[in-house]
Amino acid sequence: MSIAIYPGSFDPVTLGHLNIIKRASACFDKLIVCVMVNSKKHGMFTPEERVELLRQSTARFPNVEVDFSNEVLAAYARRRRAHLRAVSDFEQEVQMAVINRKLNPRLETMFLASSEKYTYLSSTIVKEMARYGADLEDFVPREIVEAVNQRMRELEGTEAKEG
């Protein structure tokens, strides 16, 4: 059985992420979409909330499992018996691919580019658009549009109280 991992912060999951998930799930027997901790990023959603949003967004893909890990990816992949890692951000990920291969020689990295209509899209851009009240329908899975908008309203309410 071929098992691949698509790691990321997914804060929030975008249509670009979903495009990679759809295409990678067609390539492997099982795709684990794993919410990972990025110490450099302060999340809009908790890891548990991101897992739930991903589950809602990927429910139509029967061979996709959503998980969370705060382990080093190489250790997580070894524990889950996964040998392929699907990623979409080439520039940042080349260095991580080399490090992960050093830590877990059985872990291969496969780079998948999202469809050209999503190449500009990132979670950071989605959060900025949500901050300005833009319509998010073309940027995040429809299942989570309201959750993103609601969280942004909550965050703006907190900032207003603090300011």
Distance (Å, rounded) from C-alpha 85 to C-alpha 97?
A: 9
Asked whether the predicted pLDDT for residue 159 surpasses 70, the reply is no
CA torsion sign for 35, 9, 112, 148 is positive
Q: How confident is the model at residue 154 (pLDDT cuts 50, 70, 90)?
A: very high
Asked whether the predicted pLDDT for residue 53 surpasses 60, the reply is yes
Active-site residue, 39 included = no
Distance (Å, rounded) from C-alpha 85 to C-alpha 105?
A: 12
Asked whether the predicted pLDDT for residue 73 surpasses 60, the reply is yes
- Which of 9, 17, 69, 151 is catalytic? The answer is 17
**Tokens (6 digits) for 52:** 């739930």
Distance (Å, rounded) from C-alpha 159 to C-alpha 154?
A: 9
Distance (Å, rounded) from C-alpha 47 to C-alpha 43?
A: 8
Stronger pLDDT, 43 or 159, i.e. the higher one: 43
- Which of 25, 57, 114, 123 is catalytic? The answer is 123
- Which of 85, 88, 114, 151 is catalytic? The answer is 85
- Which of 41, 79, 142, 153 is catalytic? The answer is 41
Asked whether the predicted pLDDT for residue 31 surpasses 90, the reply is yes
Active-site residue, 17 included = yes
